[in-house]
Chain A
Amino acid sequence: GESVGLHLPTLSVQEGDNSIINCAYSNSASDYFIWYKQESGKGPQFIIDIRSNMDKRQGQRVTVLLNKTVKHLSLQIAATQPGDSAVYFCAERDNFNKFYFGSGTKLNVKP
């Protein structure tokens, strides 16, 4: 079966520091990946995506890195702000167009 997991359930960072959230996936045929942010009391919000033919994609203050060799995905947040505090989870799409989601990492930003 599919397995999308996160290395750390919680991550605490100081405001202004960079954050790195990791995700492992198990299906080497997965070709599309998404990072979501979920704030307390809200639904998940799309942050950034990446296709399997790319290694890196940058957005505004966020970068997603894909390492297909070890089936690893990471989300980097530059200059982390208090508003970045949330649960972050990844999702992968397999070769049957089905999405599988990770359980999430809670990011705490300390002022």
Chain B
Amino acid sequence: ETGVTQTPRHLVMGMTNKKSLKCEQHLGHNAMYWYKQSAKKPLELMFVYNFKEQTENNSVPSRFSPECPNSSHLFLHLHTLQPEDSALYLCASSQDLVEGIYEQYFGPGTRLTVT
């Protein structure tokens, strides 16, 4: 256990559905991240939050909408997704974005399938 939990672990949704992914960290960290991991492709950073403020949006389509109500929780709201959005979505946290503290702790991921 890394101290980062994600729910659900598996999700199948149609292109017209709306769903949300949830991430919770129990490490007292201040920075949280969403990544997309597709088969045989490198991890893609999607969003970064530091102290609840979004600090990075890596040109992610608007059908993905993040929400960070506090430093321990991070959501990814999904709507009108495409089949190519099927992937493993990973959440991570780190102490913060202060210089020199980079170690990120990853959750187990949500395996998303868009039909």
Q: Do A and B make up one complex?
A: yes
By Cβ-Cβ distance, the 6 closest A-B pairs, closest first, are A43-B106, A101-B43, A101-B42, A103-B42, A44-B106, A43-B108
- Point out residues on B near A: beta carbons under 8 Å: 2, 4, 40-43, 45, 90, 92, 97, 102-109
Least CB distance from B30 to A in Å reads 16
In the complex the two chains form, is B108's CB within 8 Å of A46's CB?
no
Least CB distance from A96 to B in Å reads 11
Cα distance, A70 to B58, chains bound together (Å): 29
Cα distance, A97 to B104, chains bound together (Å): 14
A34-B102, A43-B2 as given contacts; A89 in contact with B108, CB under 8 Å = no
In the complex the two chains form, is A45's CB within 8 Å of B2's CB?
yes
In the complex the two chains form, is B43's CB within 8 Å of A44's CB?
yes
Cα distance, A41 to B106, chains bound together (Å): 12
Cα distance, A9 to B39, chains bound together (Å): 12
Least CB distance from A36 to B in Å reads 8
In the complex the two chains form, is A43's CB within 8 Å of B103's CB?
no
Residue among A45, A97, A103 facing the most chain B CB atoms (10 A cut-off) = A103
Can you name the residue of chain A whose Cβ is closest to the Cβ of B92?
A: A43
Cα distance, A98 to B41, chains bound together (Å): 18
Least CB distance from B17 to A in Å reads 24
A and B contact pairs by CB, cutoff 8 A, 12 listed: A4-B42, A34-B103, A42-B108, A43-B4, A43-B92, A43-B107, A43-B109, A45-B2, A89-B42, A99-B45, A100-B42, A104-B40
Residues of A within 8 A of B107 (CB): 43
Residues of B within 8 A of A4 (CB): 42
In the complex the two chains form, is B108's CB within 8 Å of A41's CB?
yes
Cα distance, A97 to B105, chains bound together (Å): 18
Least CB distance from B52 to A in Å reads 19
Can you name the residue of chain B whose Cβ is closest to the Cβ of A99?
A: B45
